[in-house]
A and B are shown apart, each in its own frame.
Chain A
Amino acid sequence: MPKKILVVDDDPDVRLFNASVVQELGYLSVEASNGEEGQLMVAQEVPDLIILDVMMPLQSGIRLYRALKTDNAFANIPIIILSGISERSFMKSQEALTAFGKDAIPAPDAYLEKPADAETLATQIKSLVQQT
Chain B
Amino acid sequence: MTTIKRMLFATKFQELAFDALESLLDLRAVGLDHVIFLNVVERDKVAMHRGVGYQKSEEVKLKEVANIHFIEWAEQLFEQGMEVGVHIVVGTLVQQVVRAASMENVDLIVIGRPTRGRLEQIVSGADISDLIRRTRVPILVYKQEDPPEAPLKAHPFTRPMLATDWSPAAGKALDFLVGLKGLVEEISVIHVGKENALTGLSAMDVQLYRKTHRKKLQAICDTFENAGIRARSHLYVGDPYQEIERAAREWRASMIVTGCSGKGTWHERIIGSIPRFLAEKSDISTLIVPHEGGS
Which residues of A are at the interface with B, using a C-beta cutoff of 8 A?
10, 54-60, 62-63, 84-86, 89-90, 92-93, 96-97, 99-100
Contact = CB atoms under 8 A, between A and B. Distances in A.
Interface string B86-101: 1100000000000010
Given A62-B78, A90-B78, A93-B78, A57 B86 contact: yes
B81 A58 contact: no
Nearest to A63: B83
B87 A55 contact: no
Contact of A89 (B70, B75, B85): B75
A85 B103 contact: no
A93 B81 contact: yes
Most chain B Cβ neighbours within 10 Å, of A10, A63, A89, A93: A93
A4 to B, nearest CB: 26
Interface residues of B, number: 18
B87 A57 contact: yes
B183 to A, nearest CB: 20
Contacts of B84: 55, 60
B81 A60 contact: no
Contacts, number: 54
Given A55-B70, A84-B67, A100 B78 contact: no
Interchain residue pairs A-B with the least CB separation, the first 8: A96-B81, A93-B78, A89-B75, A92-B79, A84-B71, A55-B86, A57-B85, A97-B81
Chain A contact surface mostly:
loop
B130 interface: no
Contacts of A58: 85, 103-104
A96 B67 contact: no
B108 interface: no
Contacts of B75: 85-86, 89
